[in-house]
């Protein structure tokens, strides 16, 4: 499909458009990696910071994948939050 969440989103900002073009070939693989990591999490859930510990994935690449996976109903927010490394609230994601 050619629309979000099957294609990376942007807000019609030139730099974001360029970034999404570079991400497009990797999008499906990154989504699969994130969904698989959440599904197989030992404790049953993961935050984005915990997902970013996975090999070959940085936090900024994985953050948007959780939004896309939520849109696809493959993961969900369990309603619990903790502080992440920046002191902001982090969502705990589980596989659906």
Q: Tell me: the pLDDT tens digits for 46-67?
A: 999 888 887 667 777 788 899 9
Torsional sign, CA 34, 73, 64, 29: positive
pLDDT tens digits for range 75-93: 999 998 999 888 889 999 9
- Classify residue 60: in a domain, yes or no: yes
Q: Which secondary structure element, helix H or strand E, spans residue 66, and what is its range?
A: helix 59-71
pLDDT of residue 2: 60
| Domain CATH code at residue 75 | 1.10.10.10
- Classify residue 61: in a domain, yes or no: yes
- Classify residue 15: in a domain, yes or no: no
Provide the residue range defining the domain that includes 74.
Answer: 28-95
- Classify residue 12: in a domain, yes or no: no
* Segment 4-31 mean pLDDT: 78
Count of domains forming the chain: 1
Q: CA of 14: how far to CAs of 11, 71, 75, in Å?
A: 9, 24, 30
3-state helix, strand, coil in the chain (%, to 5): 45, 20, 40
């Amino acid at each position: 499909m050619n629309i979000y969440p099957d294609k990376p989103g942007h807000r019609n900002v030139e730099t974001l458009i360029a970034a999404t073009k570079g991400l497009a070939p990797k999008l499906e693989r990154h989504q699969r990696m994130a969904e698989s990591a959440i599904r197989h999490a030992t404790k049953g859930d993961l935050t984005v910071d915990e997902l970013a510990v996975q090999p070959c994935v940085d936090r900024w690449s994985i953050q948007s994948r959780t939004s896309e996976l939520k849109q696809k109903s493959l993961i969900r927010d369990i309603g619990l939050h903790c502080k992440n490394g920046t002191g902001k609230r982090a969502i705990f994601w589980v596989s659906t």
